[in-house]
Amino acid sequence: MNWLSAVLPWAIGALALAMLLAAWRLFRGPTLTDRILGLDALYVNAMGLLILLGVRFGTSLYFEAALVIAMLGFVGTVALSKFLLSGDVVE
């Protein structure tokens, strides 16, 4: 038995649990900062899950999707943080 095939389901399950906990923080709050951090953790965990699925199924499509999520998540986090600090995204 290959060690990767034994560890991969556990890692996927751990990331899925982390995504559930991040979604809980995103929806429950209690502050706007907690929600932004929950969204940030959610997209980082989604990236990791897509990379693990790419390794599992042996296709590069998942890696490209993870790259798109990384770029959109970064821009989203920066925009939300700027909005939180100044009240306006575009000055």
**3-state SS assignment for residue 31:** coil
> Which distant-in-sequence residues (6+ apart) come within 8 Å of 45 by Cβ?
15, 18, 19, 22
**3-state SS assignment for residue 76:** helix
pLDDT of residue 65: 94
Q: Give the residue among 14, 13, 36 at the shortest CA–CA distance from 25.
A: 36
For the stretch 56-66, pLDDT in tens is 999 999 999 99
How many CB atoms are located within 10 Å of the residue 91 CB?
Answer: 5
| DSSP letter, residue 58 | T
Q: Is the pLDDT of residue 90 over 80?
A: no
pLDDT of residue 1: 60
What residue has token string 């600090």? 85
For the stretch 1-58, pLDDT in tens is 688 888 999 999 999 999 999 999 999 989 988 998 999 999 999 999 999 999 999 9
